[in-house]
Amino acid sequence: MAHTAPRTQFRNRTRRTGRRHPLVATLMALPLAALLLLVFDGWETVATQASSVGVMLGR
């Protein structure tokens, strides 16, 4: 049998699983929140929409 190079441990790399840090999640959500504020004309409308979605989801 021919001598080949050893296999790299590419498959055995572990991925980080679990939850994101709350600060990272906040930084990811801020641009969308700013866009929603601009599209829906202010905080009151966004809060009303979020409340309606919460009621629909049963929270």
Tens of pLDDT, residues 4-53: 777 666 555 566 677 778 888 888 888 888 887 888 788 888 788 888 88
User: What pLDDT is attached to residue 55?
Assistant: 87
User: What pLDDT is attached to residue 30?
Assistant: 85
User: What pLDDT is attached to residue 14?
Assistant: 63
Tally helices (H) and strands (E) across the chain.
2, 0
User: What pLDDT is attached to residue 47?
Assistant: 81
Residue 2 predicted with pLDDT over 80 = no
Cα(22)–Cα(14) distance, rounded to whole angstroms? 22
